[in-house]
């Protein structure tokens, strides 16, 4: 009982004193943020905002997708703006004084569109009585349908294609932070651009974000950075660092795109055979593949630091909470790992062990 709790507490205290890596959590709600803090997270490394567009808000997203004029689009975005401002306020409040990396929307588009089959059946059954909205939706779903949504209109691409979408989110972040400042809080938002493959993409998104931050003013300061989750981003990290104050490695997508394995389907098909054959000992989605994906991470760390020596480096893929991978991230010299709140204690412990094991040989 008490003794066990105390010895665990002692071990964690040692690990925390020893470790060089900071540990943050992935959290999208104030509840998760609070849980993360209780587990000892030192901030949020990934707040996925796409989840905030589902559920009851789907209606508003449909209005956005259906908008055919600037005015319609602005109306749709204006309806989402106050909801987002409240979302970010809640999270910044819960994480007061700690960094909160908010990633601009990165939806696989198919998750936002109504189901094609369902909608087709609905419209077909209704016949002449089908609503105008459903007809237009069906047309839009057809138009936006992609064979490979995970390689499609995602991440920064969506932000560059739908004018005002990223700006709405950045404004909501800035206004929420300004609200916190007015309440006497210490908000530390970091704005993260997803799925960037080139400095040009990042520059477009960053300029838009900087413009909005300047407009809102109010003494709000926010870092702007990017995910590194495509091989091209890793290979051109030296250029990308010109426009990024931080990198966060998205090792889920980076593993998917480096191996060419689908994140979503692979477990069911040939992975067990690959494990049997010893092609790998453990799924590369679980433990970071040092030779391939890890090599890209190393390249990006080196190139990024060459361009911008003080660049902040972290990881927010599932690997951030995997013990073996945490050792790797320590070795390559990241500043922090970010993982699910429940994994935070494990990450703290492993980060401590990694520091102790490399003490003496640690050049940093």
Which residues are part of a known binding site?
A: 48, 103, 229, 250-253
How many alpha carbons fall within 13 Å on the CB side of residue 256?
A: 20
> In 3-state terms, what secondary structure has residue 12?
helix
Q: Is 334 exposed, middle or buried (0-12, 13-18, 19+ CB in 10 A)?
A: buried
By CB atoms closer than 10 A (0-12, 13-18, 19+), residue 238 is middle
- With binding defined as CB under 6 A, does residue 196 bind ligand PEP? no
Q: How far is the CB of 237 from ligand PEP (least distance, A)?
A: 16
Pick between residue 250 and residue 294 the one whose CB is nearest to Mg ion.
250
Nearer to ligand PEP, 106 or 322 (CB): 106
| Residues in the chain, total | 364
The yes-or-no answer on residue 316 being catalytic is: yes
What's the min distance (Å) between Cβ of 250 and Mg ion?
4
Q: E strands along 162-299, which residues?
A: 188-193, 223-228, 246-249
Question: In the set 12, 14, 29, 48, which binds ligand PEP (CB under 6 A)?
Answer: 48
- Draw the binding track, 228-257, toward Mg ion (x: CB under 5 A; -: no contact): -x--------------------x--x----
Catalytic residue among 316, 344, 347, 351, which?
Answer: 316
Locate 242 and state its tokens.
Answer: 């010109």
Of these partners, Mg ion, ligand PEP, none, which one is at the site of residue 305 (CB under 5 to 8 Å by kind)? Answer: none
Contact 352, 14 (CB under 8 A): yes
Distance between CA 124 and CA 235 in Å, rounded?
49
Phi and psi, residue 206, nearest 5° = -70, -40
250 binds ligand PEP (CB under 6 A): yes
Tokens of 276: 């049997």
Does 347 engage in binding with ligand PEP (CB under 6 A)? no
Q: Among residues 251, 257, 258, 355, which is the contact residue for ligand PEP, using CB under 6 A?
A: 251
Annotated binding site for Mg(2+): 229, 253
- For residue 174, state whether it binds ligand PEP (rule: CB under 6 A): no
Contacts of the segment 264-272: beta carbons below 8 A, 24+ positions apart = 264/150
Residue among 32 and 229 whose Cβ is closer to Mg ion: 229
Residue 197 within binding range of Mg ion, rule CB under 5 A: no
Cβ closest to ligand PEP, residue 138 vs residue 288? 288
Residues that bind ligand PEP (CB under 6 A): 46, 48, 106, 229, 250-253, 316-317
Residues with catalytic function: 316
């Amino acid at each position: 009982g008490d003794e066990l709790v105390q010895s665990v507490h002692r071990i964690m205290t040692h690990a925390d004193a020893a470790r060089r890596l900071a540990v943050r959590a992935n959290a999208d709600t104030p509840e998760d943020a609070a849980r993360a803090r209780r587990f000892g997270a030192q901030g949020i490394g990934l707040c996925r905002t796409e989840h905030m567009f589902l559920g009851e808000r789907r209606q508003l997203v449909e209005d956005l997708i259906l908008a055919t004029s600037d005015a319609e689009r602005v109306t749709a975005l204006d309806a989402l703006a106050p909801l987002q401002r409240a979302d970010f306020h809640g999270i910044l409040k819960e994480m007061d004084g700690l960094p909160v990396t908010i990633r601009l929307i990165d939806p696989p588009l198919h998750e936002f569109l109504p189901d094609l089959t369902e909608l087709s059946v609905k419209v077909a059954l209704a016949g002449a009585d089908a609503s105008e909205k459903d007809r237009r939706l069906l047309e839009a779903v057809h138009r936006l349908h992609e064979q490979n949504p995970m390689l499609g209109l995602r991440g920064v691409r969506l932000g560059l294609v739908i004018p005002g979408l990223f700006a709405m989110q950045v404004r909501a972040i800035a206004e929420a932070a300004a609200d916190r400042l007015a309440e006497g809080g210490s908000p530390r938002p970091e704005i993260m651009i997803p799925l960037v493959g080139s400095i040009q993409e990042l520059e477009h998104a960053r300029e838009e974000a900087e413009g909005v931050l300047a407009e809102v003013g109010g003494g709000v300061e926010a870092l702007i950075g990017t995910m590194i989750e495509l091989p091209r981003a890793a290979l051109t990290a030296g250029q990308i660092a010109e426009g990024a104050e931080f990198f966060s490695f998205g090792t889920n997508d980076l593993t998917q795109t480096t191996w060419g394995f689908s994140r979503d389907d692979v477990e069911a098909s040939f992975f067990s055979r690959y494990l049997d054959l010893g092609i790998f000992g453990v799924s590369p989605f679980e433990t970071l593949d040092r030779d391939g994906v890890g090599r890209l991470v190393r390249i990006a760390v080196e190139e990024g630091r060459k361009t911008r020596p003080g660049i902040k480096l972290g990881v927010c893929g599932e690997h951030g909470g995997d013990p073996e991978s945490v050792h790797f991230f320590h070795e390559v010299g990241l500043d922090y790992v970010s993982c699910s709140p429940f994994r935070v204690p494990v990450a703290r412990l492993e980060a401590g062990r990694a520091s102790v094991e490399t003490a003496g040989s640690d050049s940093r």
